Amino acid sequence: MKVAFASTDKIHIDEHFGRAENFLIWEIGPEEAAFSGVLQVHSAGEDEENRIEARGAALADCALVYVAQIGGPAAARLVAKKIHPIKSKECEPIAEVIVKLQEVLRNNPPPWLKKAMLKGERPGFVER
């Protein structure tokens, strides 16, 4: 699954969702993780609602987005797009978060994470 990390230094999760101009994109599975690239989002001069929408649209392929902070309305918009925002604890290193996420994926991921893992993999699939 694709996972985005809001980062200013490309090492730590240290940026607020609404201010992030760079998201590091990783493909992460239970056994492997690969860096996919940097997604740049520019929305200078726009109002907050437009900044949130621009970031949500740019991250549409991602199942998870790790951020230092995110407001309630922005988080709700991401969840509506089936992108799960996760607040990072104390500027965590991205590499450590990837290892922890893989451990959860290998063991018994919670139901919301199982759904996130399926994002984009099974077109036409409707869970009931």
Q: Does the residue 124 lie in any domain?
A: no
Q: Which residues contact 124 (CB under 8 A, 6 or more apart)?
A: none
Asked if residue 127 is part of any domain, the answer here is no
Q: Tell me if the pTM is above 0.75.
A: yes
The verdict on residue 126 lying in a domain is no
- Convert the pLDDT of each residue in 78-104 to its tens digit: 999 999 999 998 899 999 999 999 999
Number of domains in the chain: 1
Residue 30 inside a domain? The answer is: yes
CA dist 11 and 63 (Å) reads 20
Q: Does residue 123 fall inside a structural domain?
A: no
Question: According to the model, what pLDDT value does residue 127 have?
Answer: 42
Which of 51, 92, 103, 106 shows the shortest CA–CA distance to 74? 51
**Quick one: what percent of the chain has pLDDT higher than 90?**
66
CATH number of the domain bearing residue 33? 3.30.420.130
Looking at the domain assignment, is residue 87 inside a domain?
yes
Is residue 128, in this structure, part of any structural domain at all? no
Range of the domain at 114: 2-118
Distance CA 52, CA 66 (A): 15
Indicate the average pLDDT of the chain: 88
Cα–Cα distance for residue pair 117/42, rounded to 1 Å: 28
